[in-house]
Structure 1
Amino acid sequence: MSNDETDVAFDGPSRSQRRRDATAIFKLAESLVTLTDAQLERVPLDDDLLVEVRRTRAIHQPIARKRETQYLAKLMRRLEPEEIDAIRLVLEIDRQQSYRETAQLHQLEALRDRLIAEGDSALEEVILEHPDADRQQLRNLIRQANLEAKKQKPPKASRELFRTLRDMLGQTG
């Protein structure tokens, strides 16, 4: 063996690296397929890819959907790295926003439960923080929620209290 045969020039990424890259793109394609229409509009995709994402979403049979997702991933591998990074960035921002919204909803649920459990003492704290809140409406809803719980009825007033708190605090969800 001569010295020239042992010095192999770099031919690009290894087969393992190419496989890892392809798997990452496939996972990205799977993520795109699970998005809602509103979320999909925020993702920077050209028209061909957008049509393919929608076509893939329309398939419900698991094997056929996987095959179509693989085709979508194949099309995505033709994109420039910057385009793929932009797609990943938008998906990450959506994911973080979803986490924040979920956390806000949990806080609202905790506040509602606290109002129902503690009554007027908790209500006073809410009124101090939000003086424009309708005290009478909140007190009414708390009382109705407690009655529904005692009678084991559906929590209609509890849901209405949640919606009222959400509107009062200016949160959507």
Structure 2
Amino acid sequence: MSSVSPPRRRTTNAIKESLRTLSTQLSVLNHQVGTRLELRDVDFDCLDLVSRFGPLSPSALARRAGLHPATMTGVLDRLERGGWIARDRDPSDRRAVVVRALKDRAAEVYQLFSGMNGRMDELCAGYDDAQLELLASFLERVAEAGRVSADELAEGEPS
């Protein structure tokens, strides 16, 4: 017998469904932004990862993106040709390479996300500081659960 009450189960399921809808909508938004920038979805995803977490080695970027290293080479070649990233020597190991986002084109990306960012500011204005902290914590934990689940699948473990 389950110890979870039916109302709690319904609410939990509604949250999961909302997160799936959110995931889809953000994928559509990212696709539209990438299309405007003439970037493939995977290229835009990698650019976002480098922008947020870089500089990164190509292998670290491949792991974060869940891509095979050979696929990453093509992605980085396209991003470099487009003027989005640069490959530099790693200062701590001159034999290694790190990838960094070029700031010159960041304004193009920010402009395309301005509608979403403005709507998010309006939404957040309706919550007090404690509520925003709770939401931020919840979303960080959801993102971590997704990362762990993706890692498990990549390693062949059941999720």
TM-score (structure 1 length as normaliser): 0.28
Please give the TM-score of this superposition, normalised by the length of structure 2: 0.30
Q: Which has the higher strand share?
A: 2
Higher helix share: 1
Q: Which has the larger radius of gyration?
A: 1
